[in-house]
Structure 1
Amino acid sequence: MIYRNDEHVDLATPRGPMRSHLFRPVAEGRYPAIILYSEIYQVTAPIRRAAEYLAGHGFLIVAPEVYHEFEEAGTVFEYDKPGTDRGNELKVTKEVASFDDDAATLVNFLQSHEACSGKIGALGICLGGHLSFRACVTQPEITAGACFYGTDLHQRSLGKGGNDGTLDRAEEIEAEMLMIWGRQDPHISREGRREIYDAMTDAEVSLSWHEFNGQHAFMRDIGHRHDPEIAAQVWSLTLAFFTRILK
């Protein structure tokens, strides 16, 4: 059981306040923290349910609104064409440096939070998968990173200018990584997955790599692409991963 109220904080960043949603166990205490990066749609109901699930297993979760400098606090895009178009537009409008500043702000916030044990992980889905990977590149305080079908890694096309270079910095990762992919994902080809795997292996990143027969967004618990059986397996892997490293 976790707090179901909308607990949030507006964190100061160089580009304005970043609304960040908090989910925590009911019991008082200090818990390892996980930064939960959303899809392009921001903190939707499926993202909230994911956060509640993780918090219910003994983690302090913070889910930032990744497009805070462009949209009013609390903005959520619909899972439709206009929402998808807006999310994809902002993904290549926002500066990569802003994504990095946000990650640093979140880490600093968690390090001083009364309910944080000092251990910090990152988990991201779709766009968020790339952001959790990049946060592990830029923030050495993060010791465990999970990426669910992170987009744009092999194309290096995140952010304004379309030249993020995240994958090329894999050797800077000090965290252990959990990489989750769908073989039927049209956004990340077999060749793209191979490029990511080779880059991480060449950089001697400590990682676990899992591919499933699923489409893009198979973890999202609404829509025709959701696969509950695979999702259950992935959540089991994810909980074991974060528990082992952060607890």
Structure 2
Amino acid sequence: MIIQHHNTDLNTSTGLMRTTVYRPQAQGQYPAIIFYSEIFQQTAPIARSAAILASHGFVVLVPEVFHELNPIGTVLAYDDAGKDKGNADKWEKPLEHHDSDTQALIDFVKQQNYCTGTLGAMGVCIGGHLAYRAALNPHIKAAFCLYATDIHSDTLPAQAGNNSFERMADIQGEIHFIWGKQDPHVPKEGRSKIYQQCVATDINYQWQEVNAQHAFMRDEGERYDGALAITMYQQAVALFSRTL
């Protein structure tokens, strides 16, 4: 399916949020996926991932996850300076601001004549956390969360009682967790903690642990696992085709 893309700047409670929209060229209405990036924002690998999803018949929105903290259009490099800046942004932005960003994206989708109005969420790294976090909103019917950081550790700023781990029971849609067994950012103990919470809350979830390192989806760098990435795209497309 041939796709197109364009940028749009959405009003949020914390300022303008540049969002890139990838969607089929063919006329019609399509379900939407909010695709949350790593701390580096919309890098070339993130753009390629969004394009892959869109080519399967989805409207894919890639927001700048730290729009309040950077000039519009900021993309951080995959180097130490980029990592340090991205992590600093991650620890500065409250989860409540991510929630209002998600609501702005939902409102946008509901207004577009090329969208059916149904939404899912997907993300990698902190984006996996944000896809999980988005699923707290009842408009998100499904979430595909790849090596989601900081859920188990409760290290992201939030108001008392509003951290993502404790609010798992609020998820109404279907959520898929994908973890790398060799990922030091979410060690075995962290994965076990999240799994036990899934069981305790009785949410609708699927759980998968694979032999891979952190960022195995990123098609730049030595940690990339192309064969595994193809499998993940197929699983995500299957999930969203079924639920949206």
Shorter-chain TM-score range: over 0.9
CA offsets, 1:80-114, max 9 Å, x none? Answer: 00000000000011122111110111111111111
**For the Cα contact (< 8 Å) 2:3–2:23, is it kept in 1?**
yes
**For the Cα contact (< 8 Å) 1:23–1:62, is it kept in 2?**
yes
Please tell me the residue identity of whatever aligns with 2:28: G
Q: How does 1:2-81 map to 2 (within 5 A)?
A: 2-5=2-5, 7-81=6-80
**For the Cα contact (< 8 Å) 1:92–1:161, is it kept in 2?**
no
Q: CA deviation at 1:167?
A: 1.1
**For the Cα contact (< 8 Å) 2:4–2:23, is it kept in 1?**
no
Please tell me the residue identity of whatever aligns with 2:22: F
Pair 1:99-2:98 in alignment: yes
Q: CA deviation at 1:42?
A: 0.2
Pair 1:167-2:191 in alignment: no
Q: How does 1:150-165 map to 2 (within 5 A)?
A: 150-159=148-157, 165=163
- Match of 1:77, SS state, is coil
Task: Indicate how the Cα distance of structure 1 residues 58 and 25 shifts in structure 2: closer, same or farther if over 3 A, else same.
Answer: same
CA offsets, 1:27-77, max 9 Å, x none? Answer: 111000000000000011101000000000000000000111111111100
Identity of aligned residues (%): 44
CA offsets, 1:136-176, max 9 Å, x none? Answer: 11x10110111000000000111368986101111100010
| Structure 1 spans left out of the alignment, 5+ residues | none
Q: CA RMSD in A?
A: 1.4
The equivalent residue for 2:214 is: 216
Q: How does 1:104-115 map to 2 (within 5 A)?
A: 104-115=103-114
**TM-score, reference length from structure 1:** 0.95
Aligned residues: 244
Greater CA deviation, 107-116 or 29-38? 107-116
- Match of 1:167, SS state, is coil
Q: Distance in 1 between matches of 2:184 and 2:97?
A: 28
